[in-house]
Structure 1
Amino acid sequence: MPSPSQPLRKLGFLTIGLFDPADPGQGHESTLRLIELGEQLGFDSAWVRHRHLQYGISSPVAVLAAASQRTSRIQLGTAVIPLGWENPLRLAEDLATTDLLSGGRLNPGISVGRPGHYDRVASALYPDTAEAEDFGYERVRRLLDFVRGEPATDFSGIEGIEVYSDRVQPVAPGLASRMWYGGGSLRSARWAGEQGLSLLTSNVVRAEESEDFAEIQRSQISAFRAHHPEGARARVSQGLVVIPTDGASAEQRAKYREYVRNRTPRTAAPQGPARTVFAPDLVGTSAEIAERLYAHAAFREVDEVVFALPFTFDYEDYVQILTDIATGLAPALGWQPAL
C-alpha cells in the first residue's frame, strides 16, 4: 500500500439522522447514540446534516446541544446549515448557547442560496418579505458579525429593571474561529478563504474547469487557500462516502455494494444545468479504500476528513462502518485516535 504524503490528522463522520415519521424520537436517539459511539472510538468530530420539511434533522443545533450533554471530548459540527432558512441574529444566539453548553466544541458549518422549492415554501417561510430576502453572502456576513460580537443594535443599558446588551448574548469565546463554509464551486471556495473561514468540501462539486471530481475539488482547495489569510495552513475537511467492509457480514456487504451500484450512474457525467459532479462512493476493505484515497488528487491536499455515512442504512450497519473506519481505515491513513 502506498504511503500518504502526510498522516491523517483529524477524523470525523457525518450522519443525516433519518427517522420514521411515526416515531421520530427514536431516529434522533439513534443519532445521539452514534455520536456517543464516535467519541468512544476516538473520532475527533461528529457532524449532522440539516433537512427541512423532510424526515431528517431539521434542528441540528438542538440535536448537538443534546449531544454535548452526552459527550465530553468530541467536536460537534453542522454540515451544513442553509442560511436561507435562518434569521442570522437568532441563529447566532442558538450557536453561542450550544457552544457554551458543549464547552467550546461546536463547529458550525453554513452555506447560502435560495431554499429548495422556494416557490412552494416562500409563503410559509417569509410571507411578507419573500421577494426582498437576500440569500447571498451578505447573510453570512451578518451571522459572522453577530458571532464575532459586532453590535446588533444601538441600544444598551437599563430600562426599568431589565438590562439590555447591544450585542448578541451569550458570548461564546472562540466560536468565530470554528466557523466553516460548505462550498462546491471556485467562487464559494475563494469567498470562504477571503472571509477567513474553514472550508467543508463534500462529495458534490460544480464542473467548471474540469469534469474529473478529484481535480475539480483539488482546484477548489487551492483557490481557497490562495485567498485565505493563513494560506496553506487554512483548514479544509474532505467529506466522501466511504463504506469499509472488514467487519461486515455477507448480507451487509451485498447491501452496501447494491447501494453503491445504484448511485454510481450519477457519477459518470455532470448533472443538470448547474453541472453538478458527484464523487463515487468508496466501498471495500479498509486497505482497498485507503489505496483509492491515496490516489485521489483532492485527498492528498487535506489532513482532515468528515466521512459521510450512507443514507437509509440500519443502526447496526452504522456501528459496523464507524468501527471499521476507526479501527481499520483511518489507522491505514496514518490517523491515531484521540482517546
Structure 2
Amino acid sequence: MLDRAAGGGTDAGTDVGRAVAAQPPKVNLGPANGTVVAFDVGGTAVKAALIHPDGKMSPVRRIPTPVAGKETPALLVDLIERTIHDFSQELAGSDRCAAAVVVPGIVDEEAGTGVLAHNLGWSNVPFRPIFEQRLQMPVYFGHDVRAAGLAEYRLGAASGYENAVIMALGTGIAAALFVDGRICVARGRAGEIGHLRVAAHTACACGATGCLEAISSAAAIVRRYNARSGTPVTGADEVVQRLKNGDRSAEAVWLEAVDALAEAIVQISALIGPEVMVLGGGLAESGPDLFHPLNDALSVLGATSSPLVLPASLGEDAGVIGAAIAGRRKL
C-alpha cells in the first residue's frame, strides 16, 4: 500500500508553481461529454494538459517529477491532486470531469496498479483506487508507451493501419502493439521488446545478455561509446554529432545499435506481422541518421515481410495525448 510522506521531500505545490507551459499540440480530439485532465509521468518531468469538451487541448505543463524512493508514489499523488486544483478555475464550468494518468514500468491497467517502476522506486502500488479516492472523479490509469502508441495509432503516423507497432526509443525501449485493430496488453507485460535477444553478448540490467535495450537504447549507446572511446559524452545526440564528424568509435557503436534494432524489427515482424513500424522517442529524432542505415540493415537481412518504417509524428506530447484519449472513455 501507499505510504504517505511525512514532511520533507518535494513540495508539490511549489512544483506546480514552477510548471513550464508549452504550446498545445496541433490535434483536436473531437467533442466529448466532459473535461479530462491528462498526465504523462516521466522519470524527470510530469506533463499535464486539460482537454476541453470540444476536443481542444490546453498548453502542456511540465512539472519536475518528485523522486524520493519509497515516498515517490505519495508525492506523485500529491502533485497530481494539486495540479488538478490548479486547473480548478477552468474545470469549474464542466459538469463532468475525469483524470487520466500514465506511468512507465510495468502497469496492470485492468487492476489500476503500478506493478514495477525501477527508476521511480515503486512496486505494486494501487494507484487508480488511490487517485479515485483522493480526486473524487473517474480515473484512467495506464502505461506511458501504450498511451503514446494509442495517440500515434489514432491521430499520428500509424493512423489508417490495423496492424502496427509504435516503438519508443529512449533511455529504455518498449512498444505498443496493435493486432487487427486491438492493442495487446497481457496484464501489462506486452510490449517489453527492449528485452528481445538480438546478440550473444552485452549484459543487460535485467540480468540477461544480448537484450535490445542493452545495445540500442539511448542509455546503452552513451555507455558503450564512453567505454569504447575513452572520451565521455552525456547524451546519445552527442554520439550522433561525433558520428557526423567522422568519429570511428561513434560510427561503430551507432551501427551496432542500428543493426540490433533491425534484428528486433525482423523478429517482431515474423511474430505479429505489422504493416507499419513507427519509431518515436529521443533516438528517432536523429532522423536520416537513424532511418537511412536502418532501412539498409533491413535490406541486408532480407526480411520477406518488413513493415513500412516511419518516424512518429506527434512528438514528445504523444503520451499526454494518448492519456487524454483513454481518459475520455471514463466519461
After TM superposition, the score normalised by the length of structure 2 is: 0.29
Q: Which has the higher contact order (CA 8 A, sep 6+)?
A: 1
After TM superposition, the score normalised by the length of structure 1 is: 0.29
